[in-house]
Structure 1
Amino acid sequence: MSPPRQLLRTKPVDLINDESAHTALRRGLGLPALISLSVGATLGTGIFVVLGQAAPVAGPAVTVSFAVAALAALFSALSYAELAGAVPVSGSAYSYTYATLGELVAWVCGWCLLLEYGVSVAAVAVGWSGYLDEFLGATVGSRVPEALSGGVVDLPAAAVVLLATAVLLGGVRESGVVTVVTTVLKVAVLAFFVVVAAFGFSTGNLAPFAPAGVAGVTGAASLVFFSFIGFDAASTAGEEARNPQRDLPRAIVVSLAVVTVAYVLVALTAVGAVGVDALSGSDASLATVLRQVTGDGWPAVVLAAGAVVAIASVVLTVLYGQTRVLVAMARDGLVPRVFARIGARRVPAANTLIVGGAVAVLAALVPLGQLAEATSIGTLVAFSLVNIGVVVLRRTRPDLPRGFRTPWVPVVPLLGLGMCVLLVAGLAPATWAAFGVWSAAGLVVYFAYGRSRSRLGQQVQGE
């Protein structure tokens, strides 16, 4: 096989599905747990954390920015739903791309997923640290020293990542129970916020609605798209779902609908209650809203307490997703085999420890805004490849059983691709530069390590 053909070799879908059928992971997740996994990985990241970063960019039209980002996510979610039902494995978009676009593109996708999941965990952990500080200040009258909560390092952010790592080591069933409980709590906390903030709503806070025009709306949408990445978390549970062909597509679509409604309602009531200026730059912006609306501290304390527990569930579920993508990449030989080693509790223990430690360091050292934008660009590239993959797989394997079929192919996947390109264009040049460095590093790793150790490549050479 010539070098160019080696880079474009695809992994047969039947081989991928056979590996999934004989997985060493435990199949313990039903539909409620999968929905909670997706909602838990998504709901909270944008509203609890990124709203204060996005509001100054779009003004009150940040509510439209959430809707635009949701629309972009919807097209990609429909593509994810089809591929999750057709190729139900732990690798998510990485495995889908390997089956449709070839090994090199799959590597790029997997490398982007490592950026997406790893950096988003760190970003959410930084936001969690802000709400913990808010909660401690309101209840015990003492905050975490500034040098230890983002001034020099962010120790609380690192601590919550390590706590999530410990929960994941306990097993997938136990992690699923924690996820369901914390997701229900999160929905209740956001409903509490909407009701209280509505008492301070004033239409005057919505004018001027879009001071930065369309550019501001799309720029903020690029930033808050980070908030929607969790819906694909269910697709990383393909080998731990009891009925993946049926339940994975349902979990993806339902979770995106729940999250979109929650985000728009919370953003609208927050801006309407206090205006954009009060939200700007705060890592605990929703607690700030309740304090200003009520003139009292207890609603903010309730919100901060709920956020401390609820945002921790995002750390848990997204960290789970990253470890499962690495399982698939290691099984294919593209990263070291240690990441695919399954321990006594039928979880990738060494993988989880390595990833948890690395993300804890990242959360301790890198500011929130830079983390959020870096996550968005990795996500958008991965989503773009999934949209292309649906079109390719329809042509190459029209006979493949699918638990869900994306409507109006190729129109919907191409719209998803176009929306991803639009949002990527709105990201800052510094984000593009960082992504370029990350991508170059990934290509070096692939050509220096993964290409020669690829199991698919070795099988082809042996034939």
Structure 2
Amino acid sequence: MTDDVKGTKSAPPRLRGVTYAHAGEGYFEKRQLQRSAGFWGLWGIGVAAVISGDFSGWNLGIGEAGWGGLLIATVAIVAMYFGMLFSIGEMSAAMPHTGGAYSFARASMGPWGGFITGLAETIEYVFTTGVIVLFSAGYANAATDELFGLDLSDHMWLWWLVLYTAFVALNASGAEISFKFAIAVAVISIGILVLFAVLAIANGAVDFGQLDNIAPEGGNGTFMPFGWEGVLYALPFAMWFFLGIEELPLAAEEAHDPAKDIPRAGIIGMITLVGCAALVFFLNPAVTGASELGGSDEPLLDGFRAFMSDDWAAVLSIFALIGLLASLQGIMFAYGRNMYSLSRAGYYPKFLSVTGTRKTPYVALVAGAAFGFVVLVVVDYLAKNTDTIGEKANAIVLNVAVWGAVLAYILQMVAFVLLRRKFPNAERPYRSPAGVAGAAVAGLIAAITFVGLFYNDDARTAILGIAVLYVIALGGFAIFGRHYLVLSPEEEYAMSGGLHRDPSVEHYGGVELEAELPPEDFTP
């Protein structure tokens, strides 16, 4: 047990197979965050985290399902995200602390539910950051090659190292800087997408006849050239338009008014993203052709190249890179706060939640970046030296990120339904207009997506690999981690039945809480 975590004077408290240690003097003081975000800061961090999906990644779904099949998949995914955001908005307003998905599941399903859900979200955000680094490096290398003759194709790890280092430094420099940066790059990124649409139309480059230029298979039509099976495989890529917008509850302890602004920023951010997705979804393949776009690592840049000279396209690719960098900053923010909250509660090693003088979880940021960098190096090596992975490295990392995301989504929707029943009297400043039905629909679509990942041969190997690591982590928690949990804000909310709601208002420390616990739930 560390110096700043201690047990009670007798034995540490136990609850359903886990053991808690009361936080020692100075424990939470070393793990403070700073309130820096209003509505626009939250909108910016949410949109910024996702906007790269309009620049790369989504188009791989065309290769799986054709344009029409991806359209059907995208409509389903939009319904899923709205249902989920309504539900998450209600839970985040009720629980204005940093835990996010882990916190919701902890309150509804106990410590094991919290850990399983929080770990899935860690996988989602760490691997999503890796995907964005891959795509960002590709855009950056294309631009420097065409403008300056600097081609690092054989040494892409240098780009990855530069990107990880720069954005860990940005996110560690302070929450206020992070939120301001997010607003700026979100607005610029939206402007770039609008510019692409305007130039494509002005240059007469849009031909909607190219949307279905993929040759159908197995008696299917050109709208859905690979049938309903293709739609199933396309669901993860349709998610790339929106994956990450659900991170906003992780900013709860850094928001000025989380109960009001997080639900509102999530819904308005989602509406913004639907508009951006529509621009690229209808216009980008209409400019380049669906079949040509289905395997591209730089779909928007390919769109610019279709009606502009290479030099101008290279210049615009630098601006397109801003969209990817926006998401790199936003998603890195998310994994830092996710790991911070799980570490503060003792599920992860406690040193990961130390924040330092700038009130940012810099240790968690560095740890997540180091792990992501190693993953990219390993995947790159396998891609160059094995036939199994080959040219599918980007899709493999993307599918792992989606696997973590949909698992976390399913568990959060279960948590929403359970919390409505278990904590009926808990304060809920915002209530989902879709209620339990919205959560059920969102959870069902997420479950179908989850199953679809295992049916896709290209994704199965990667998913099984990360599932093994997932099981190893669960084993580590069972053997060691569950014995050293801390009564953090997320834990005390759950253990008090929602009575300890806001860590900025109520006292936290565990001693008073221990006396309030029902005897059947708590044994000394």
Which residue of the partner structure matches residue 153 of structure 2?
Answer: 146
Q: 1:196 to 1:58 in 2, by over 3 A?
A: farther
Q: 1:71 to 1:39 in 2, by over 3 A?
A: same
5+ long unaligned stretches in structure 1 = none
Rounded Cα–Cα distance in structure 2 between residues aligned with 1:249 and 1:24: 23
The counterpart of 1:174, out of the listed 137, 157, 177, is 177
Q: 1:8 to 1:392 in 2, by over 3 A?
A: farther
Which residue of the partner structure matches residue 106 of structure 1?
Answer: 114
Which residue of the partner structure matches residue 387 of structure 1?
Answer: 413
1:329-368 equivalent positions in 2, closer than 5 A:
329-366=342-379, 367-368=393-394
1:6 to 2:19 alignment? no
Q: How many residues align?
A: 447
Which residue of the partner structure matches residue 434 of structure 1?
Answer: 465
What displacement does 1:68 show? 2.3
Rounded Cα–Cα distance in structure 1 between residues aligned with 2:238 and 2:523: 47
Q: 1:57 to 1:392 in 2, by over 3 A?
A: same
Q: Secondary structure at the match of 1:50?
A: coil
Q: 1:174 to 1:408 in 2, by over 3 A?
A: closer
Question: For each residue in 1:394-452, what CA deviation from the matched residue of structure 2 results, as whole angstroms up to 9, or x when unmatched?
Answer: 11222222232112432111111101111112113324412421321121121122111
Is the Cα contact below 8 Å between 1:40 and 1:230 reproduced in 2?
Answer: no
Which residue of the partner structure matches residue 254 of structure 1?
Answer: 268
The counterpart of 2:209, out of the listed 198, 204, 210, is 204
What displacement does 1:462 show? 6.9
Which residue of the partner structure matches residue 313 of structure 1?
Answer: 326
The counterpart of 1:397, out of the listed 423, 444, 463, is 423
Q: 1:213 to 1:26 in 2, by over 3 A?
A: same
The counterpart of 1:162, out of the listed 161, 165, 185, is 165
Rounded Cα–Cα distance in structure 2 between residues aligned with 1:213 and 1:281: 19
Is the Cα contact below 8 Å between 1:8 and 1:103 reproduced in 2?
Answer: yes
1:373 to 2:404 alignment? no
Rounded Cα–Cα distance in structure 2 between residues aligned with 1:244 and 1:238: 5
Rounded Cα–Cα distance in structure 2 between residues aligned with 1:252 and 1:288: 31
Which residue of the partner structure matches residue 287 of structure 1?
Answer: 301
For the aligned residue pairs, the C-alpha RMSD in angstroms reads 2.6
Q: 1:260 to 1:365 in 2, by over 3 A?
A: farther
1:183 to 2:186 alignment? yes
Of 355-364 and 335-344, the range deviating more from structure 2:
355-364
Which residue of the partner structure matches residue 444 of structure 1?
Answer: 475
Greater fraction of residues in helix: 1
The counterpart of 1:66, out of the listed 60, 66, 74, is 74
AA aligned opposite 1:339? L
Is the Cα contact below 8 Å between 1:168 and 1:175 reproduced in 2?
Answer: yes
Which residue of the partner structure matches residue 247 of structure 2?
Answer: 233
Q: 1:138 to 1:385 in 2, by over 3 A?
A: same
Q: Secondary structure at the match of 2:404?
A: helix
Question: For each residue in 1:39-73, what CA deviation from the matched residue of structure 2 results, as whole angstroms up to 9, or x when unmatched?
Answer: 000111x2211134222111122233333222222
What displacement does 1:182 show? 0.9
AA aligned opposite 2:318? A
What displacement does 1:7 show? 5.1
What displacement does 1:371 show? 0.8
TM-score, normalising length: structure 2 = 0.80
Is the Cα contact below 8 Å between 1:98 and 1:105 reproduced in 2?
Answer: yes
Is the Cα contact below 8 Å between 1:162 and 1:357 reproduced in 2?
Answer: no
The counterpart of 2:60, out of the listed 53, 61, 84, is 53
Is the Cα contact below 8 Å between 1:374 and 1:435 reproduced in 2?
Answer: yes
1:13-92 equivalent positions in 2, closer than 5 A:
24-44=32-52, 46-61=53-68, 62-92=70-100
Q: Secondary structure at the match of 2:234?
A: helix
AA aligned opposite 2:273? V
Rounded Cα–Cα distance in structure 1 between residues aligned with 2:208 and 2:407: 38
Rounded Cα–Cα distance in structure 2 between residues aligned with 1:262 and 1:7: 47
Rounded Cα–Cα distance in structure 2 between residues aligned with 1:302 and 1:403: 47
Rounded Cα–Cα distance in structure 1 between residues aligned with 2:153 and 2:482: 45
The counterpart of 1:125, out of the listed 130, 133, 142, is 133
Is the Cα contact below 8 Å between 2:31 and 2:359 reproduced in 1?
Answer: no
What displacement does 1:216 show? 1.4
Q: 1:275 to 1:163 in 2, by over 3 A?
A: same
Of 384-393 and 423-432, the range deviating more from structure 2:
423-432
AA aligned opposite 1:26? Q
Q: 1:30 to 1:231 in 2, by over 3 A?
A: same
Is the Cα contact below 8 Å between 2:141 and 2:153 reproduced in 1?
Answer: no
Rounded Cα–Cα distance in structure 2 between residues aligned with 1:155 and 1:162: 11
What displacement does 1:124 show? 0.4
AA aligned opposite 2:283? T
1:220 to 2:234 alignment? yes
Is the Cα contact below 8 Å between 2:30 and 2:355 reproduced in 1?
Answer: no
What displacement does 1:391 show? 1.2
AA aligned opposite 1:48? F
Is the Cα contact below 8 Å between 1:8 and 1:101 reproduced in 2?
Answer: no
Q: Secondary structure at the match of 1:101?
A: helix
Rounded Cα–Cα distance in structure 2 between residues aligned with 1:268 and 1:143: 33
Q: 1:166 to 1:435 in 2, by over 3 A?
A: same
Is the Cα contact below 8 Å between 1:63 and 1:268 reproduced in 2?
Answer: no
Rounded Cα–Cα distance in structure 1 between residues aligned with 2:377 and 2:38: 34
Rounded Cα–Cα distance in structure 1 between residues aligned with 2:422 and 2:371: 39
Rounded Cα–Cα distance in structure 2 between residues aligned with 1:7 and 1:93: 21
The sequence identity of aligned pairs, in percent, is 21
Rounded Cα–Cα distance in structure 1 between residues aligned with 2:232 and 2:131: 21
AA aligned opposite 2:183? V
Rounded Cα–Cα distance in structure 2 between residues aligned with 1:267 and 1:253: 21
What displacement does 1:453 show? 1.0
Rounded Cα–Cα distance in structure 2 between residues aligned with 1:203 and 1:223: 21
Rounded Cα–Cα distance in structure 2 between residues aligned with 1:22 and 1:250: 31
Q: 1:378 to 1:371 in 2, by over 3 A?
A: same
Of structures 1 and 2, the larger Rg is shown by 2
Q: 1:396 to 1:189 in 2, by over 3 A?
A: same
